[in-house]
Amino acid sequence: MARENKSSLTVGVAQIAPIWLDRERTLAKVGRWITRAADRKCKLVAFGEALVPGYPWWIEHTDGARFNSPMQKRLHAHYLDQAVDLDAGHLDATSTLARKRKITVVLGTIERPRDRGGHSLYCSLVVIAADGSIASVHRKLMPTHEERLSWAPGDGHGLRTHRLGAFTLGALNCWENWMPLVRAAMYAQGEDLHVASWPGSDYNTRDVTRFAAREGRSYVLAASSLMRRRDIPDSVPHAAALRKRIPPALGNGGSCIAGPDGEWIAPPVTDRETLIVRTIDHRRVREERQNFDAAGHYGRPDVTHLTVDRRRQGTVSLRD
């Protein structure tokens, strides 16, 4: 009987389109792809940035910076209605499925947190552990460009890593993967399996995935989404007007996996929904760390030292 390789882990990247701006139907779709990943023996499955209920693609194409625009206000109100409220149990079914199938899930969401009043949105990566618990919620530190018209800036509370078999898992949103100090914060916590979550473009994933893998001497899973004009459902306000203004393809995917030497394990896949599944071996991390370990033998904390504030930020401290 063959001995189990405790150094290996089967991982999946689910590249799918949301049922755009429809939380319940998108979560149902996420559940089907979690099941598909578990059926293929994955112990981890990662999804794209802001997948539930979707990225705010309308802003760029509808004069989103116009002040007091009735169209922008209505779309934003709908976005709030469809956002994820963890306190309301919106991810309970996903957590139950993760526990049932014993799989860790990294899920991009738009969060509407009550600890910030419940009326602002955060681009949040949620890590659901294989026991069904919410292991971390990382609110994107700095929304990029037009995202700032929709999302509020987050904090460092979710800059955490999690043990997963022989690996230490971490995850960042989109252009956070370009932020050297944020990457360093993850390396210092032992990260050697990184999920980079993106809204949908091989323009973003093609370069930084291999760079981050080689710098971190880690496996990097770039999880990206699809978004096409045909993915706009009639339930979205101004759906007909949006279809006239939005190009046929907004997000073409680009999900991929790179190894600790920076070489492709699975090169970027575009223009189709797919589940990328690979079995990775922690031995490759240890081999590549022989000549470079950013937070270990190649670190010089006596010369440069990073301080990370992981407190959840709020606007009030109540004492009754």
Q: Considering the candidates 29, 49, 147, 256, report the single residue annotated as catalytic.
A: 49
Cβ count within 10 A of residue 25 = 17
Nearby residues of 244 by Cβ (< 8 Å), 6 or more positions away: none
Q: Taken in order 78, 84, 90, 91, is the CA torsion positive or negative?
A: positive
**Whats the size of the chain, residue-wise?**
320
Q: Which residue has the tokens 């149990």?
A: 89
List the beta strands (DSSP E) in 140-248: 162-164, 167-173, 193-197, 219-223, 226-228
Nearby residues of 277 by Cβ (< 8 Å), 6 or more positions away: 10, 11, 12, 37, 40, 42
Specify whether 140 is catalytic. yes
Q: Considering the candidates 123, 140, 176, 256, report the single residue annotated as catalytic.
A: 140
SS3 87: helix
Specify whether 123 is catalytic. no
- Exposed (0-12), middle (13-18) or buried (19+): which is 232, by Cβ within 10 Å? buried
Instruction: Describe the crossing of helices 23-39 and 92-101 by its angle, rounded to 10 degrees.
Output: 0
Instruction: Describe the crossing of helices 180-187 and 202-216 by its angle, rounded to 10 degrees.
Output: 50
Q: Which residue has the tokens 């009326």?
A: 119
Cβ count within 10 A of residue 272 = 10
Dihedral in degrees, nearest 10, Cα atoms 98, 103, 106, 110: -10
Cβ count within 10 A of residue 101 = 19
Specify whether 49 is catalytic. yes
SS3 147: helix
Q: Considering the candidates 123, 174, 191, 256, report the single residue annotated as catalytic.
A: 174
Residues acting as catalytic residues = 49, 140, 174
